[in-house]
Amino acid sequence: MAYSTLSAEHEAFRKVVRDFAQAEIAPHVAQWDKGHHFPVDLVTTMGELGLFGLTAPEEYGGSGGDFTSLCVAIEELGRVDQSIGITLEAAVGLGINPILTYGTEAQKAQWLPDLVEGRALAGFGLTEPGAGSDAGATATKATLEAGEWVIDGAKQFITNSGSAITSVVTVTARTGVRDGGRPEISTIMVPAGTPGFVAEPGYDKLGWHISDTHPLTFTGCRVPEENLLGERGRGYAQFLATLDDGRIAIAALAVGCIEACLDLAREYALDRQTFGGPIGRKQGVAFQIADLAVAARAARALTYEAAAMKDAGVGGQELKQAASIAKLYATEQAVTATRIATQVFGGYGFMEEYPVARFYRDAKILEIGEGTSEVQRMLIARGLGLPVE
């Protein structure tokens, strides 16, 4: 089934976000990255622009727009800086959307208005020290006692979980045992500041220096029974559905990375003079940049086809397959693009004063977060009917 390319409205919106990113992010991003600074004021400004409310209904302050618009915004922010792009992606995909999709009316009314307006951020705590790709190995436990969930455990690598404006983190936890001994996994909302919930000091990361990322600990942390998000025991299924959307959004972030590398490498190849002319006249350089153009075009096509499928109401295995294909191709090409761009820049590409160095550091996590490349290949193979383990 064929899906249309981006509409004129999407392209007009792209220009709005691109102008915003150039004016509000580009002049500051190198210093923010160097200082590992999370710009809360920028988040607020992004909220005023409506970026956090793109997929939320108007009744909660959103614009009721489509998923494709969110991908356009993530791509354009990621084209200037990947950390800012992932801040939006995680805020909407992992923070807002689970509440919007599975929350009660009371939960939506309590949390969504501030999240949609950019006055607050929410995180989603899934990964643990011993449970990453194997999310079913979740060790965090939540026991129901006298109308309260008592949570004990730890999460790691959780985005938007410890900022000054983080309001709530949704965590997966074992809430019982199913027939056959399998764990019952549910999702529970834990407000920031709850006794026993600690966002530990942020990580010293290879990349994404501007992104807010923390390990979390829960020690006898008590929250009301009504903080259960969705149906008890459906936490794992909710997580899998959330990741389908997230993989498309991460692909959009990777597209922004590829396009940034293409732009930077092309400009440098035209300006850098050696042996009496620009280095772009040499096939060894020009052909690599041509490859970047191909990667950018292909990654965009796969990503926005998957986004269009999401907006068209396609679900199930068809969407899962498209999301995994887009995520796998775009993220691996993004890592390759940063290597090529750095090589084109030569020694200058190794210097932090040039943005290609930042993109090089930032790209690797794209192959890991929201499902590793290995997991994507496994899912794609299963979608083809292969009994892969």
Q: Which residue in 184, 200, 370, 389 is the catalytic one?
A: 370
Measured CA distances, 143 to 136, 140, 151, 220, 221 (Å): 18, 10, 7, 10, 10
Q: Tokens standing for 59? A: 């009744």
Q: Is 370 annotated as catalytic?
A: yes
The length of the chain is: 389
Nearest to 178 by CA among 232, 118, 117, 243: 232
Element at 157 (helix H, strand E) = strand 148-159
| Residue whose pair of structure tokens reads 């965090």 in the numeric block | 140
Alpha-carbon torsion 284, 338, 6, 13, what sign? negative
Distance between CA atoms of residues 224 and 290, nearest Å: 57
Taking a C-beta distance cutoff of 8 angstroms, is the pair 255, 330 a contact? yes
Q: Which amino acid is at 90?
A: A
CB atoms inside a 10 Å sphere around CB 288: 18
Q: What is d(CA 300, CA 314) in angstroms, rounded to the nearest whole number? A: 19
Rounded CA separation 309/300 (Å) = 14
Question: What residue type is assigned to position 374 of the chain?
Answer: E
For the record, the structure tokens of 259 come out as 């396009």
3-state helix, strand, coil in the chain (%, to 5): 55, 15, 25
Tokens of 298: 């292909």
Active site residues: 370
